[in-house]
Amino acid sequence: MNKAKHPLIRLHGVTKRYGATVALDNVDFSCFPAEIHAILGENGAGKSTLMKLLSGVIQPSEGDVFVDEEIIRLKSPGHAIDRGLICMFQELSLVPDLSVRENLLLGAKDARYGFAKKHHLADARVLLDKIDASHVQLSTRVSDLTLAERQQVEIAKALSRQPRLLILDEATSALNSTVVEKVFDLIREQRDRGTGVLFISHRFHEIEAIADKISVFRNGQHIETFANGQYNYGAIINKMVGQSLTELFPTPAPRTISSTVLTLDSLSWNGEIKDVSIDVKAGQILGLGGLDGQGQNHVLQALFGLLKHTTGDAAVNGTQGMPRSPKAAKGKKYGLAWVPEDRKKEGLILEQSIQDNLQLAALGHASAPAQAVFEKLISSLELKYQSLEQPVAALSGGNQQKVSLIKWLVISPTCLLLSDPTRGIDVKTKTQIYQLLVELSKQGIAIILLSSDYEELVHLCHQVHIFYDGEIVDTLSDESLNAQNIIAASLNMHKKSSEAHA
Amino acid sequence: MLDVFKRYRRECIAFFVLFALLSLYIATHPRGASTYVMTIWANQCLILALAAIAQFFVVVVRGIDLSVGAVMALTNCAASYLLNGSGFELVYGSFMVIALGTACGLINGLIVVFGRIQPIIVTLATGSIFTGLALLLRPTPGGSINYDFADAMTLDIVGIPTAVWIALLIILLFWFPLRQSGMGRSIYAIGSSEQAAFQSGISVNTVRIIAFALGGTFAGLAGSYFSYVTATGDAGIAANFTLNSIAAVVLGGVALSGGVGTLIGALLGACILKTISSLMFFSGLPPLAQPLIEGLVLATAIAIGSFGILTEKNRLRVFD
């Protein structure tokens, strides 16, 4: 194979900002034809932003994108597809109400709005057969397919478009290992024909099996690119971890022996939570870690009475059984409060005033909190506002999150459930929230903190459960609670590496 | 065969309901299944069917068009000026009336896409404007349509109502392209999952504007056909047709949440609705009970259509 001289795509000084958050920070990156290039990084490292940039979904705030050494602005996914940059997205890009056939043809370069040529479907059919999806009928509606079948269709859709650069974002997460092996054969075939492949996966052994090169990203920066096999697990994880920012975190409350507030006994739901058992004591901060969407958030939703048909048992605050609705969960018997991850959609009513939002959780609660309770919390969290009549939408992200927290704290929960409370907010607010959490735990409130930031898990939590594919794969505390172990367990590598050490 | 039934379940159900209602109608009608009875029935159905297809194109891209009736009123009033000549004037007039409808739909689409305003608000406003224009054209009902032309469109060809032939022609011209062309697929795709469509390289804005414009075209066709049937121009028909067009698409299995439903479904829904009112006319039920019965039928159809929500396991998804 002759080595191509110039890269297929090249990023030069690319920065992408969303408001105050920097998702990609001055990134230089290249991908050559005929190579499989894996991208590794923690949650929020910038992998997804990179993919979205290359597929035309978003445009860089600064810097240039070169395709074939020609500077180009990818205005839309259609534009990128015309250039041969084909992306298979993590959030499935199939239209649920259309049939497999219609999805395969949707947006195809030569038949975007006209009539498709016959060869197109024939190609896709051959590809589907090659990856063990011969049972998938082209006339089936996509919403009737299983998750794995959808992924197979996605792969066939991407490959049937003759990509020059194939971007695979978690392309194989729902497939079993035999199918994955067949998909890999197809990807290698593509590479040998000169296609460049960008491969994002959280399954480390897959990267090891298929990648030619590996690039590590951290906090929106491109750290290093190296050949597959150059470093061992440990070294790669250290590259993903980076420097610790201990000064952000207050000293955690010492762990005292206290009574259990909440127990979950083998909770399962809909194949997305598998046999999860949890035990939280008064004054304890329990961390839930892992990659996005491994079932952690569903556990909190289940505890807050949002999921139907869960199995397993729970006891909260001496009350047996799962709460059946959020109203029951926040009631005196359970004493739970949940601050959801998406504050704009689930946590707050943006158009309503600060005052109205603050009172929302306490509505219908047995004991209405006094005005003094609000004022105390507002001043201790230093909520910045002009008037309580101001709509919440006018506040900054950090202050919105404070409103979302105070709203629940006024009902004095015995156990506080938090879904990534510091995502996308500024450092100062983060430290204030950390301070508050430690303060609350000293007062004896049990806290379950779901976080995608491993620093928070290391520095704030007494114990951390790591989720992978709906199960708790590892529980870390004391000495074992460090960034390396969290990342290794998140990637479900710990079993492998500990076997290797043993 | 079973596969076709499964895929077009809603349409098949609508078809059987229509078949039963129509049989009942013919059985109870004093003059039975004569060409005359069928022609009147078909003409009434086709007016609403065209309005329902207009609504269908907008609903399928997750919109709702409150201006369907107003566009019909405007094109009807325009037709009462443009379609009273003969020969070439009629060809030109017919074309202009439909072009006017298309223009109205195009305006709706452009405002929705570039103004980033919900379709319900936009079409409420433009609907009012279109009705206003219609009133300027025809402050009181009047004008006329060339009688020979109107007769040709509203009587029968070889014993089968012309309206049925027109419906078949529309199905032939639009059914196949809508399922087989990239444009048709794109229209369904942006209604079902705008994000997935965008990521697949579809120009979401252009497709949405085209869907609204197609809606306008059919509202124009509905206005034209209304003119052939009534042979006059009337600006006061808007409200009734808008609401009935929405009811018809729902009855025909078109999901108001977008992406699901077919042109034939909308057509069948319109026929069901019209047949129910015709049935009641001959059934001896007091005319005042008609809205009550129609409402019950509609409520039942909607309730059946939303059973899916009961099986959702995550309570938060119910609000999506």
pLDDT tens, position by position, B194-239: 989 998 889 999 999 999 999 999 999 999 999 999 999 999 988 8
**A93–B192 C-beta distance less than 8 A:** no
Q: Is the pLDDT of residue A222 over 70?
A: yes
Q: pLDDT value at position A499?
A: 44
Judgement on whether residues A107 and A197 belong to the same structural domain of the protein: yes
Q: Where a domain ends, among A241, A276, A305?
A: A241
Percent of chain B with pLDDT over 90: 58
Contacts A309 to B, Cβ<8 Å:
313
Q: How confident is the model at residue A205 (pLDDT cuts 50, 70, 90)?
A: confident
**A94–B192 C-beta distance less than 8 A:** no
How far is the CA of B199 from the CAs of A53, A151, A304, in angstroms? 12, 15, 34
Least confident of A48-52, A163-167, A169-173, A409-413: A169-173
Judgement on whether residues A195 and A93 belong to the same structural domain of the protein: yes
Report the residue from A78, A87, A105 with minimal CB separation from B185: A105
Tens-place pLDDT, residues A60-72: 999 999 999 899 9
A325 touches chain B (CB under 8 A): yes
Q: How confident is the model at residue A494 (pLDDT cuts 50, 70, 90)?
A: low
Q: How far apart are CA A369 and CA B60, in angstroms?
A: 48
Judgement on whether residues A236 and A259 belong to the same structural domain of the protein: no
Q: φ and ψ at A187, to 5 degrees?
A: -65, -40
Q: pLDDT value at position A373?
A: 86
Report the residue from A95, A308, A325 with minimal CB separation from B197: A95
Q: What is the ipTM of this complex?
A: 0.83
Q: Where a domain ends, among A215, A241, A267?
A: A241
Say how many C-beta atoms besides its own lie within 10 A of residue A366's C-beta: 9
A87 touches chain B (CB under 8 A): yes
Q: Does the residue A3 lie in any domain?
A: no
Mean pLDDT of the A162-191 span: 88
Mean pLDDT of the B289-304 span: 79
Mean pLDDT of the B180-204 span: 90
Higher pLDDT: A44 or A66? It is A66
Mean pLDDT of the A441-465 span: 91
Q: Does the residue A217 lie in any domain?
A: yes
Q: pLDDT value at position A502?
A: 38
Q: pLDDT value at position B5?
A: 74
Q: How far apart are CA A385 and CA B210, in angstroms?
A: 45
Residues paired with A218 in a beta bridge: A221
Judgement on whether residues A236 and A268 belong to the same structural domain of the protein: no
Q: pLDDT value at position B168?
A: 94
What does the DSSP 8-state code read for residue A109? G
Mean pLDDT of the A18-23 span: 76
B47 touches chain A (CB under 8 A): no
Q: Does the residue A56 lie in any domain?
A: yes
Task: State the smallest CA–CA distance between residue B2 and chain A in angstroms.
Answer: 13
Cβ(A150)–Cβ(A133) below 8 Å: no
Cβ(B304)–Cβ(B252) below 8 Å: no
Q: How far apart are CA A436 and CA A405, in angstroms?
A: 10
Cβ(A297)–Cβ(A341) below 8 Å: yes
Pairing label, strands A70-72, A260-269: unpaired
Judgement on whether residues A64 and A83 belong to the same structural domain of the protein: yes
Look at chain A and count its residues: 502
Cβ(A323)–Cβ(A499) below 8 Å: no
**B181–A106 C-beta distance less than 8 A:** no
- CATH code at A72? 3.40.50.300
Task: State the smallest CA–CA distance between residue A146 and chain B in angstroms.
Answer: 16
Q: Which amino acid, residue A343?
A: R
Q: How far apart are CA A27 and CA A45, in angstroms?
A: 12
Contacts A114 to B, Cβ<8 Å:
181-183
Q: pLDDT value at position A475?
A: 94
Cβ(A24)–Cβ(A49) below 8 Å: yes
Judgement on whether residues A208 and A89 belong to the same structural domain of the protein: yes
Q: Does the residue A455 lie in any domain?
A: yes
Judgement on whether residues A343 and A380 belong to the same structural domain of the protein: yes
Q: pLDDT value at position B297?
A: 79
Tens-place pLDDT, residues B233-265: 999 988 889 989 999 998 898 988 888 899 999
Tens-place pLDDT, residues A115-147: 766 677 788 888 899 888 888 888 888 888 887
Least confident of A367-371, A383-387, A409-413: A367-371
Q: pLDDT value at position B305?
A: 65
Q: pLDDT value at position B4?
A: 72
Q: Where a domain ends, among A216, A241, A266?
A: A241
Mean pLDDT of the B180-187 span: 89
Cβ(B174)–Cβ(B184) below 8 Å: no
Judgement on whether residues A279 and A235 belong to the same structural domain of the protein: no
**DSSP H/E element including A71:** strand A70-72
Contacts A108 to B, Cβ<8 Å:
182
Task: State the smallest CA–CA distance between residue B195 and chain A in angstroms.
Answer: 7
B259 touches chain A (CB under 8 A): yes
Q: Is the pLDDT of residue B2 over 90?
A: no
**A76–B314 C-beta distance less than 8 A:** no
**A106–B185 C-beta distance less than 8 A:** yes
Q: How confident is the model at residue A424 (pLDDT cuts 50, 70, 90)?
A: confident
Tens-place pLDDT, residues A236-292: 888 887 665 666 788 877 777 789 999 999 999 988 899 999 999 999 999 999 887
Hey, what's the torsion of the CAs at A150, A156, A160, A163, to 10 degrees?
90
Least confident of A174-178, A393-397, A400-404, B172-176: A174-178
Query: B-contacting residues of A 10-69, CB under 8 Å?
Result: 55, 57
Q: pLDDT value at position B84?
A: 87
Mean of pLDDT over chain A: 86
Mean pLDDT of the A442-462 span: 90
Taken in order of first residue, the domains within chain B and their CATH numbers are 35-281 (1.10.3470)
Judgement on whether residues A202 and A275 belong to the same structural domain of the protein: no
Q: pLDDT value at position A14?
A: 93
Pairing label, strands B160-161, B156-157: antiparallel
Higher pLDDT: A131 or B52? It is B52
> B197 to chain A: nearest residue by CA?
A95
Task: State the smallest CA–CA distance between residue A307 and chain B in angstroms.
Answer: 5
Q: Is the pLDDT of residue A500 over 80?
A: no
B182 touches chain A (CB under 8 A): yes
Percent of chain A with pLDDT over 90: 43
Judgement on whether residues A277 and A229 belong to the same structural domain of the protein: no
Contacts B198 to A, Cβ<8 Å:
57, 76-77
> A154 to chain B: nearest residue by CA?
B200
Q: Does the residue A23 lie in any domain?
A: yes
Q: Is the pLDDT of residue B276 over 50?
A: yes
Task: Tell me how many domains chain A contains.
Answer: 2
Task: State the smallest CA–CA distance between residue B189 and chain A in angstroms.
Answer: 6
Cβ(B75)–Cβ(B65) below 8 Å: no
Judgement on whether residues A334 and A443 belong to the same structural domain of the protein: yes
Structural domain boundaries, residue A436? 246-501
Q: Does the residue A125 lie in any domain?
A: yes
Contacts A111 to B, Cβ<8 Å:
182
Query: A-contacting residues of B 280-319, CB under 8 Å?
Result: 312-316
> B314 to chain A: nearest residue by CA?
A307
Tens-place pLDDT, residues A298-310: 999 999 999 989 9
**B183–A93 C-beta distance less than 8 A:** no
Higher pLDDT: A495 or A36? It is A36
Cβ(A105)–Cβ(A161) below 8 Å: no
Tokens for A438, please give them.
């430690």
Judgement on whether residues A254 and A227 belong to the same structural domain of the protein: no
Q: pLDDT value at position A245?
A: 61
B29 touches chain A (CB under 8 A): no
Least confident of A106-115, A146-155, A183-192, A225-234: A106-115
Q: pLDDT value at position A369?
A: 80
pTM of the model: 0.78
Residue A469's SS3 state is: coil
Q: Does the residue A16 lie in any domain?
A: yes
Its sign, for the CA torsion B135, B139, B141, B146, is negative
Q: Does the residue A4 lie in any domain?
A: no
A110 touches chain B (CB under 8 A): no
B183 touches chain A (CB under 8 A): yes
